Structure 1
Amino acid sequence: MESRPSKVGQDRDRISALPDDLLLGILERLSLHEAVRAGAVSTRWRHLPHQLSRVDLDVDDFQGRAPLESMDAFAGAVCRLLDCKCDCNSRRSVKTLGLRFHLSAPNLSSIGRAVEDTVSRGQTECLEFDVIPPTSDSDLTAVGRTELGQQFMSFSHACPIAFRWLTDLWLTSLDLGDADLPSLMGACDKLQHLSLTSCRFGWHSALEIDVPNSAIQSLEFVRCSCMRIELVSLPKLTHLMCESWNSENAPLRLSYVPQLRSVILCSHAGVGQAPFALSECLTTDVTSLSQLHLNFSCQMIWIKPEHPKLLTPIFRNLKDLWLWHIFPECDLNWTLFILEAAPALQMFILSRARHSCVKTSEFSAEKANVVWEPSKDLKHLNLRLLVMIGFEEEDKATNYIRFVMERAVGLRGIMLCGSKTCEACDAIDLESPTRYEADKACRRRIKERLTHGSSSSVKIINCDRDGNELVISNLIDEVLKGHSCWWSDSV
C-alpha cells in the first residue's frame, strides 16, 4: 500500500509520517469509535477509517435517541463507512463486518445495499448480524413479535447476496413460522453460527430442521418456545446448546448430525416437566459426541437413569462430562449410569449448589430424589480425573467418591472444590466470616476419611472455597496431560 507523504506545514508529527499500512495497523487495534475519532482530527488520517479491514457497528453506540432515530444514525454510519465510491477506497477489502441493529423497515434496504456492495467484492471472510428488538423483551406484544419476524424474513428475501455471505447470526425475540428457520438456513450458504434467544416457533408444534447442505457448525436455542426441536439433518454441526425450554417432555431429538462433538442442556424444570431419557434426545445416529454438559439449575433432575447399554453406542466417544448444579439433597449414585455408559470418559465434573438466597418458584417442578443402583461389576478403565464442586461433609459425598476411587482403576486425581461465591448468600449468612476456615477443616477431614484404609494411589487435592477458576482449569489440564508436578495439598 502506498504511503501518503505529509504536506509541508501540517501533520508534522512522526506518527503521521508513517505509511498507511502501519497507521492502519494502529487504528485496527482501537475500537471503531476511537478509530473514526482519530481520523477526524487529522487530514493525514481522515481517509484511513474507510480502509479498515474490520468494521463493527452497534446501534447501542447511538444512544440518547428514540429507536427510529438511533437506526437512522446507525444506517447512515454503515453507509458512510462502507462507501465504495471513495477515491481512497478503491483497493479496500472489509474482511470482517459485524452489525448489531434493530429491525427498522425504513433503514433495512440501505443497510442491505451497503453490505451487498461490500461482500460482492469477494474478500469478506466474516459477516455477522445481531438482530435485537427495539424495546425490552417484556414490552413486546405477540403482535409485535410477529411483525418483527415478518420484517426480518422480508429483509432476508430482499438481500439474498448479503445473507448468502452471512457467517454468524444472532436473533432475539422474533416469532417465526414453521418453515422460516429451515428456509433461512438453507439460503445462508456460509452460515456457521446461529443463536436464537426468546424466539417462538409455535407452542404446540415441533421445529423440524432438515438442511443437508447447510454449513452450520454451532446452533444455540435460549428460552425458545416450541413443543420440540428436531434436527433431522445438519451434517456439519459440531456444537449444540439448548437452554430453558418449555417442553413437558424431551426438548429435542437429534438424527443425522455425524460431526456433533459438544451438547449443552441447561434448564430448571417447570411444573409440567417429566423426566426423560437421554436416549430419547441423543439417538444412535449421534456417534461423535465427546463433551456433554447438563445443568439442572438446583431444581428437579430432569433426566431419568436408563440402562447403560442403551447409551453406550451414543457415549462410546464421550471424553468430558459436566453435571452442573445438582441440588444438595439429591442422591449422587444416579450419575454413575452415565459413567458406566461412557467407557472412554476421562474427566468427570460434578457440581452441587445450595443457595439460601434462591426461593423455589411456584412454577418449578417438585424436587425428588433419583434412585439408581450401579452395576456390581462396574469397572472403568479410562477415567483420570473426578472434580466435585460444592461438596459437604456427609456420608453421601464421601461414600460416592470412595466408590468411584474403587471402580475407576485408571483414576489419577480427585479435586474437591468449594462452592462458587454467591454475594447474595454471603450477605444473609451471618457466619460467613468464619465459613472459610470451617470449609477448609471440613475438606481435610473428608480427605482423611477417603484415604484411611485405602491402598489407592489416587491424589486428592483440596481447592479453596473461592478457588480461582483459571487455577482449577490449569490443574485439570495438568492432570489430563499426565504431569505430576502440580500436586499439592491445597490451592
Structure 2
Amino acid sequence: MDAFTGAVRALLTRVPPAEGVCGSSALKVLFLSFYTSSPHLSSIGRLVEGIVSLGQTECLEFCISPAPPDRRGCEIVIGQEFKAFSRAYPVAFSWLTRLTLEYHAFGNSGITDLISTCCRLRHLNLRFCTLVDSQSTLKIDVPCSELQELEFTGFRCARIELVSVPKLRQVVCQHWPFENPPVRFGYVPELRGVMLYSKAKAGQEPFALSDCLPRSARNLSTLTLCFGDQMIWIQPEHPKQLTPIFRNLATVFLFGIFSECELSWTLFILEAAPALQDFALSRHSCIKTPEYSAEKTNVVWEPSKDLKHLNLKGLHIFGCEDEDKVRNYIRLVMERAVGLLIIELYGENPCIYCDATNLERSKAEKASRHRIMEQLTHGSSSSVEIIIC
C-alpha cells in the first residue's frame, strides 16, 4: 500500500491539464483497486477528492478489499474502517459510479445508506460480504438512486429483498448460503437481466420463479440460471404464473444441468415465454460432488400437448454425450417450436473440478454430436439447420 499510494500520488498530480481548465489536472475515468489500510485511505481520499472537485470526472471506480491474511473473520473491523473512510471523504464517494467491496460487514441499513451517499453510483458489486446480524434480511430501498447493476457473490444474510430500485437493470446473485429463493424483487420496473448461479446445498429446497421474479419488471429480456451440475433448484410451474413476468423474455441460458437429469422440464420456460428467441442449455455431470450438497433428483414436467411456439429461432446445446436423451429432447423442441431456424451442438465446456476435456472423452463426445445430427436430418423434411460447433 505504500507503493500503491505513492503511485496514485504520482499519477494524480501529473495529469495534463484538461482542455479549458487552466493549470489544473483532470481525469474523466479513474479506476483504483486497493486494500483497506487505514494509514493509506486518507491519502487516497484526499487525492481523489482533489481530482473530482474539478468536475471533469465521468467514471470513478473503487475496488476495495482487506489484505489477504485478514480476509475471513474480520469483516466487522473492515466494515468499520470502510464506513469511516466513506464518511471522511463524502465528495469522493458522491462521484463514485462503480464500487466493488470484498469481505465487508454492514448493519441492516448500511447498504441502503451507502447507495444513498453515492448519488452517482450505477454498479455495486458485493463479494463475500455479510450483515453484522447474518440471520437478518438485507433490504435495499433506494427509490432516488441511479443504481443500474447489482452483484452479490456469497453474501451472508437470511435473504435479499430489493424493495425499490427504480433504475435497476441487471442483477447477479451467486453462491448464496441462505434459503431459497435467494432474492425477492419489489419495484424494479427497468429490470432487463437476471443471473442466478449456485450449487444447491442440503436444506435448500427448489423454489418457483414466480416467487422470486417481479411482475413489475415488464422489460425482463435475459434470464440465466446455472445449477453447477448439482440439484435443479427451480420448480417447473404453469405458464399462467410466469407469462406476466416472461412476456418479453428473449434469451434464456440454463447452464450446469447434471447429465442424468431429464430435459423435457425445461419446456415450461418455452411455454411461458412467447417472445423467446434463443434458448441455450449445458449438461455435465461433475465427478466431484461438494460436501453438504443437496441430493440430485430428476425434474418431472409434461409440456402441454398443444404447445406451439412461434418465435424461437435458435436452440444451443452444450454437452451431447447421452445421445438418446439429447436427440429426443431436440425432437421435442422441433415439434413445438414451429419457427425454429438453427440448432447448434457444442462440446462440453471445460470443468475445473474434473477432467471433462481429456482427448478420448472429447473425441467420443464429438462423435455423439455427429450421430445426433445425422439421426435428426436423415429422411427429415425440416428446414432447421443443425450445426456442429
Q: Is the 8 A contact 1:295 1:324 kept in 2?
A: yes
Number of equivalences: 385
Structure 1 residue aligned with 2:245 = 314
1:96 to 18, 21, 29: 29
Structure 2 gap segments, 5+ residues each: none
Structure 1 pair 222/375, CA: closer, same or farther in 2 (3 Å)? Answer: same
State TM-score, norm by structure 2: 0.94
1:440 to 346, 353, 366: 366
2:110 to 180, 184, 188: 180
Structure 1 residue aligned with 2:193 = 262
Paired with 1:460 and 1:363, the residues of 2 have a C-alpha distance of 40
Structure 2 residue aligned with 1:189 = 119
Structure 2 residue aligned with 1:486 = none
Paired with 2:352 and 2:71, the residues of 1 have a C-alpha distance of 32
Deviations along 1:404-458, whole A, 9 cap, x unmatched? 001100000111111124477449x9xx544444333322221222234533211
Paired with 2:164 and 2:109, the residues of 1 have a C-alpha distance of 15
1:392 to 295, 309, 321: 321
Q: Is the 8 A contact 1:330 1:369 kept in 2?
A: yes
Q: Is the 8 A contact 1:84 1:90 kept in 2?
A: no
How do 1:393-432 residues align onto structure 2 when only pairs under 5 Å count?
Answer: 393-422=322-351, 425-426=354-355, 432=358
How do 1:222-241 residues align onto structure 2 when only pairs under 5 Å count?
Answer: 222-241=153-172
Paired with 1:412 and 1:362, the residues of 2 have a C-alpha distance of 42
Structure 1 pair 151/397, CA: closer, same or farther in 2 (3 Å)? Answer: same
Alpha-carbon offset, residue 312 of structure 1: 0.4
Aligned Cα RMSD in Å? Answer: 2.1
Greater RCO (Cα-Cα under 8 Å, separation 6 or more): 2
Structure 2 residue aligned with 1:150 = 80
State TM-score, norm by structure 1: 0.75
Which protein is richer in strand relative to its size?
A: 2
Structure 1 pair 101/375, CA: closer, same or farther in 2 (3 Å)? Answer: same
Mapped pair 1:450 → 2:376: yes
SS in 1 for 2:207: coil
Deviations along 1:232-271, whole A, 9 cap, x unmatched? 1111111110000011221100111111111110000011
SS in 2 for 1:294: strand
Structure 2 residue aligned with 1:250 = 181
Q: Structure 2: which amino acid aligns with 1:200?
A: T
Identity value in percent: 56
Mapped pair 1:125 → 2:64: no
Paired with 1:452 and 1:205, the residues of 2 have a C-alpha distance of 58
Q: Structure 2: which amino acid aligns with 1:214?
A: S
2:296 to 367, 375, 386: 367
Q: Is the 8 A contact 2:320 2:368 kept in 1?
A: no
Q: Structure 2: which amino acid aligns with 1:277?
A: A
Structure 1 pair 422/121, CA: closer, same or farther in 2 (3 Å)? Answer: same
Give the stretch that moved more between structures: 103-112 or 263-272.
103-112
Q: Is the 8 A contact 2:323 2:368 kept in 1?
A: no
Which protein is richer in helix relative to its size?
A: 1
Structure 2 residue aligned with 1:460 = 386
Mapped pair 1:376 → 2:376: no
Deviations along 1:340-384, whole A, 9 cap, x unmatched? 00000000001001333xx21231111000111111111100000
Q: Is the 8 A contact 2:136 2:158 kept in 1?
A: yes
Q: Is the 8 A contact 2:37 2:66 kept in 1?
A: no
Mapped pair 1:338 → 2:241: no
Alpha-carbon offset, residue 73 of structure 1: 3.0
SS in 2 for 1:117: helix
Mapped pair 1:82 → 2:12: yes
**Greater Rg, structure 1 or structure 2?**
1
Alpha-carbon offset, residue 287 of structure 1: 1.3
Paired with 2:92 and 2:157, the residues of 1 have a C-alpha distance of 29
2:152 to 221, 227, 231: 221
Structure 2 residue aligned with 1:38 = none
Structure 1 gap segments, 5+ residues each: 1-70, 464-491
Paired with 2:364 and 2:180, the residues of 1 have a C-alpha distance of 42
Structure 2 residue aligned with 1:355 = 286
Paired with 2:203 and 2:94, the residues of 1 have a C-alpha distance of 41
1:285 to 213, 216, 230: 216
Alpha-carbon offset, residue 224 of structure 1: 0.8
Structure 1 pair 434/84, CA: closer, same or farther in 2 (3 Å)? Answer: closer
SS in 2 for 1:246: coil
Paired with 2:266 and 2:365, the residues of 1 have a C-alpha distance of 25
